[in-house]
Structure 1
Amino acid sequence: MEEQKQELSFEEAMSELEAIVSQLEHGDVPLEKAIDLFQQGMKLSQLCGQKLEQVERKIEMIVEVDGAAVKKPYSENGGGSGDFA
């Protein structure tokens, strides 16, 4: 099940998270189910956060050059380890 969560797109994960939040907001869920839903929601939230961070790193990276912040495009070859295009 964990591998399945990793394969979800950002949009799919957000959709599942919204459904969980909706169920919990209605308050008609038994306690055990609410706890399970909460845990699933936390995992989905973390997954969404990770995916956003990955996208942000791919869009651009900011580096300091001679005291000034310079935006450089991210290079997939470097995996974020300072390798810029």
Structure 2
Amino acid sequence: MSEPNAVEQYETMLAELQAVVERLEHGELSLAEALRLYERGAELAAACQQLLDTAELRVRQLDET
């Protein structure tokens, strides 16, 4: 199986982030579980932002050529 490309990585992480947010919004979690999910969500959000920043940089570089 080949390594996922940036678009696939982004879509996978975004789907996981959406699931994390839904679980947090639904509630009924222990404080420990809520903190764990919050931390995971923060990691996913940062990773998604990094992929978007990289894509934006590539687009800007292409526009300059």
Bin the TM-score by the shorter chain: 0.7 to 0.9
RMSD (Å), alpha carbons: 1.6
Residue 59 (structure 1) aligns with: 59
5+ unaligned residues in a row in structure 1: which ranges? 1-7, 62-72, 75-83
TM-score (norm 2): 0.81
Q: Which has the higher contact order (CA 8 A, sep 6+)?
A: 2
Residue 49 (structure 1) aligns with: 49
Residue 31 (structure 1) aligns with: 31
Most deviating of 8-17 and 38-47: 8-17
Q: How big is the shift at 1:29?
A: 1.0
Instruction: Tell me which structure has the larger Cα radius of gyration.
Output: 1
TM-score (norm 1): 0.63
Whose helix fraction is larger, Structure 1's or Structure 2's? Answer: 2
Counterpart CA distance in 2 for 1:60 and 1:46 is: 21
Give 2:33's aligned amino acid. K
Counterpart CA distance in 2 for 1:42 and 1:11 is: 16
Residue 9 (structure 2) aligns with: 9
Provide the aligned length of Structure 1 versus Structure 2.
58
5+ unaligned residues in a row in structure 2: which ranges? 1-7
Pair 1:20 & 2:20 matched? yes
Aligned-residue sequence identity (percent) comes to 31
